[in-house]
Each structure stands twice: as C-alpha cells, then as structure tokens.
Amino acid sequence: MVVQGIRKATVGQNGVGAFILQCKRLDFHYCDWAGSSKGMNSFLKNSLTKFAALNPQVEITVSPRPRRHPVIRGTYINGREKAICVRNLTKEQVLQKAELLRDANGEKLKKVTKPVKSINESVRGVWSPYHDGGIHV
Amino acid sequence: MKRLRLERWSGQLFTARSTPARIRPCCLRQQQAALPPRIRFSSSAAVLHDDLIMEDGEELDEESSTSNTNYPSPPLEAAFNSSKLAALHARLNLSQKVPLQTMARTLVDPSADSNADFNNAALANLGGSIMSYHVSEWLLCTYPRLPMTVLFAAAYAYSGPKTLQLVGKEWGVETAAAPGEEVDPGYLQFSKLKPGQALQSQGGSIRPDRKSYYRRGISSRVVYDDEFGDTVSKQAESDLPLPTEHAYASFVKAVVGSVYLHSGSAAAKTFVTNHILSRYLQIASLFQFKEPVRELSRLCAREGFEYPVARILSETGRRSRHPVFVVGIFSGKDKLGEGAGPSLGEARTRACVHALKAWYLYSPGANVRVPSEMEAAGAKEWEPVHIDIGEVIH
C-alpha cells in the first residue's frame, strides 16, 4: 500500500443539488392587552395560517408574552437566533418581517465586498513567477 | 454489490400482519415469525399475563395494565401532531408518499427502542446499501483509476458517519436529551454515551482472522470489510449507547431507505444525488504517497511509456537561503508533471506526485453513465465503462 487514502468529510453546498431552507422555526410572541401588539394580533388572526401553509418547512409556534412588545424570533440551522421586535407595526409590516426572518440564513450580517464567493479552486490558477519566461533583469 | 431483492420483502413490510388487537400500533410491521420472541416489559406485558400471579392474588386488570405501559419511543399518533416532524418532511422536499409515521420511525435508533418494528435499523440497513451503491458506482465510473485505498477514503468522505452527521445537522435535526414516549417525534432519539464512557466492543469482527494484528490487505478488505474498508462487527444490531455521529448516520440512511420503499428507486437515487453526491470534495486531497518517484517509474514501465526523467525547468536563488526549483517529469518528449520546491529532490517528488495524481484522477467526465441508469424505462443499451486495473504498486 504505497498510496494511502486520507479520511475527510465532504462539505455541503446548500442549493447545489438540494436546497434546505435555513430558517428552522419562527416563534411569534404577542400580548393580548398592550396596544403595540395590535398589528401582531391581527396578523396572527388573519394571515398566519396562510403564511404557515405557504412555508411548511418552517416550524411555527405562537405564544403570549404578556406586558411586553410583540416579537418574532427565528431559529436557524446554524444554531443562531434572530429576533425582531414588531411593536406598533401593521399586519402587512409584520408579514414582511416574518418573511425577512424566513429568508435569512441565520448568519451575522456582513458586508459583501467580493462579487463571487466560492470554495472551488481558481480555474485560471495562481500566477507563478517561474513560468512564461519570467522577468529578465 | 449484492443485488437487493426488495420487491419480495418490501411487500411484507407494507402488509399489516393479522395481529391481535392489543399489540402496539406500528406503520411498517416486519414479519418476525422466525425470530424468538423478545421479552419486553412494556408492550409484551399482556402476553406474560397468564403465568403471572400477583402478590395480592388478584388478577391484573388488562385495561389498566395497557394504559400504564410506557413505550420506549413516541406512539404513532404523535407523528401527526409534531410540527417539527412535518417541517422536516417539508424541508427535505419529500413526496407525500412518504408518510409522517415512517419519518418518525427513521428518527428512532435501536439504542432508544430495541423493538425492530419501531426503530430504524431495517430502514437504515436498506438505505445504507442504496446510498453506498450510488456513491460507489458514481465514484467508480467518474474516477475509474482511483487506487482502492483512495476509493475507500472517497466513499467514506461521501457517505461515512462523519459526513452523514453533518448532513443530518444541516437538515435541522436535533437530538433528544433522552429517548422516551413523551419526546416530540421530530427529535433524533438514541441513548447517548456518557462523558468519559468507553465505547463497548461489538463482539469482534466477521473476519476469519484469528489475531487482531494480522495484516488486512486491500483484497481482503474488499471481500470481508464494509464499503470504507473497515471491519464489520459481528453483532449487527445492539442496544448499547452509541456516538452521536452513528445515530445521525443511521437516521440519514433510514431516510434514504424510506424514500426507496415509498417512492421507488428513481426517487431514492435522486435523493442521494441531491443530498450526498452534490457535496464538495477535492478527491486530489485524499492522496498520500509514500514513494511517488518509484511509483511513477513503475507506472511508466507498466504502461509502456519511456522511463521518466526529471529536468529543471527554471530555478532561482540556488545559492541563496530560499531557492526555488521548478522541475518537470518527462517521459520521452511528454511532460507528465511539474512541481516546485526548495530543493531539487523536493521539487522532483512534487512533480512525481503531480504526475501520479494526473494519472489516477483521470475522469471521462462528470456526466458519465452509471449502471443504475439502466433501470430507467427506454434506456439505451449499456456500453461497458472503463475501469482501470488498479494500483501501480501494492
């Protein structure tokens, strides 16, 4: 056995092949009493069933959070959480926030400066000073 | 790989046996007539009743005894009420043909529920063979010249337990703290190893070797060992606590198995292609050469090429502290490989490694036909694919 095999694990590329939505769970917290939950309560009564039916891959829980502002909390596959306070928002704005959390991937927001991010090797290769004639001084 | 005669036993799995009314409800029941009955203190308690005499002399009321039974895994009905399970089903984009009960069953490891009717052992066995079949046929047809050790490593990289654990976690499956009837069926259930607890031995391997220090050659690994070249333990199923990666691996395999049983082989192949084979791996990074120079010269002799010669292509700073030499390996007028290094020997070694990798990683293309494509209706006639004779030196 002159050639040995090194054991490694493959790296997932979500979207190449199968796509897994990164948002696992959305928790909707509301308050029955406070006025800041008005839009949230209206969302829960009128739009949540449709939203849940359209997004079956997200587990949805609804729970009260008395005397507090309404919050939507997303749990992601990478283990992170994102929470958005939806106080005083209308039903439509709450839906927008829920969709924002659903589409997020759970990672911290960062500035994207490069047009392409890839784990593939460069097709062109790295420039080498020892090839193509080199520099003659 | 051995041909699976699934038509025979998938039918058995689907048909409900004429069972007594009080037996535990189950979605896919296996025929277990030939097996000795297992004593279970939970569900089989009713069977033992006839011989059981209670201390106070009264017969145990049957109704109360069944209502108090604690099953080691969640009941079937819980599968319909679990939002986690439904979300997982939708996240994996599975067909409606795969029922939630089967999905729930794929999440129960034998270490959580030892009853074969309720754990994922059979599904994992089936799914594991299907997965390893698709991975190995794809690897063999796409990289026909891989040495056997690298082929084992590549199969491990694609479908080994470490990778399947990653896959299971990327599907958003979490583990239950402890298995039990009350657990949400959307959690992976198995009995976990305690910190510092040693792995229990599985009772030796199925190899005929008498001594553990006997050399395991590559040919014997192909015959006796599993798809990664590891020994197969004698005891196939066990209820002992197991590492998390093995529990995740059997869950992912069981999902493949359930897709196969409910949606058919084409769907299972698509599932494996999408979730397992689409993952990223640089096979070139799996090689580790011991004697690349000797191996390349043997390769050239075997293939009838001219003897390989190393020539300096360019160099800089030979008398300096960090020289760089670029060496090419030539066979006659053909350049086989090229490498750069801080010494002539190092550069030559790297050039040989480059040339050998170029040989071993030959591929007829990513879209080469694989044998399982012949299962499709109206498939073209099979043209034998090129598979190389193997390693240069053993």
**How confident is the model over A85-131, as pLDDT tens digits?**
999 999 999 999 999 999 999 999 999 999 988 898 888 888 887 77
CA distance B245 to A36: 46
Q: Enumerate the residues of chain A whose CB falls inside 8 A of the CB of residue B167.
A: 12
Contacting residues for B213 by C-beta, under 8 A, at least 6 apart: none
Q: Enumerate the residues of chain B whose CB falls inside 8 A of the CB of residue A11.
A: 279-281
B253-278: average pLDDT: 97
B66-78: average pLDDT: 79
Summary mean pLDDT of chain B: 84
Q: Does B73-194+217-288 carry CATH code 1.10.260.40? A: no
Residue B306 pLDDT exceeds 70: yes
Pick from B7-11, B165-169, B347-351: least confident: B7-11
B257-270: average pLDDT: 96
Per the CB < 8 Å rule, is A13 touching B279?
yes
**How confident is the model over B272-298, as pLDDT tens digits?**
999 999 999 999 999 999 999 999 999
CB atoms within 10 A of CB B39: 9
Question: Measured between CB atoms, does A132 come within 8 Å of chain B?
Answer: no
The whole-number pLDDT of residue B201 equals 65
What CATH number does the domain located at A23-103 have?
3.40.30.10
Q: Is B313 helix (H, G, I), strand (E, B) or coil?
A: strand
Q: Enumerate the residues of chain A whose CB falls inside 8 A of the CB of residue B281.
A: 8, 10-11
CB-closest option in B91, B280, B324 to A13: B280
CA distance A52 to A27: 12
Predicted-complex ipTM score: 0.93
Residue B130 pLDDT exceeds 70: yes
CB-closest option in B89, B167, B285 to A8: B285
CB-closest option in A5, A77, A128 to B149: A5
The helix (H) or strand (E) run that includes residue B117 is: none
Compute the count of residue pairs across chains A and B with CB atoms less than 8 Å apart: 135
The CATH class for the domain spanning B289-360 reads alpha beta
The whole-number pLDDT of residue B5 equals 52
- Give me the residue spans of the domains in chain B: 73-194+217-288, 289-360
Runs of H (alpha helix) within A37-132: 38-46, 48-54, 91-103
Apex A57 CA angle, A79 and B263, nearest 5: 120
Residue (of B206, B271, B262) closest to B233 by Cα position? B206
The whole-number pLDDT of residue B292 equals 94
Alpha carbon distances (Å) from B170 to A24, B156, B163: 10, 18, 10
The residue ranking higher by pLDDT, B54 or A4, is A4
Residue B250 pLDDT exceeds 50: yes
B289-360 shares the fold of B73-194+217-288: no
Phi and psi torsions of B392, nearest 5°: -80, -50
For every residue of B133-144, DSSP letters joined together read HHHHHHHHHHST
| The model scores a pTM over 0.80 | yes
The whole-number pLDDT of residue B214 equals 80
- Give me the residue spans of the domains in chain A: 23-103
The whole-number pLDDT of residue B322 equals 93
pLDDT grade for B62, boundaries at 50, 70 and 90: very low
The whole-number pLDDT of residue A130 equals 78
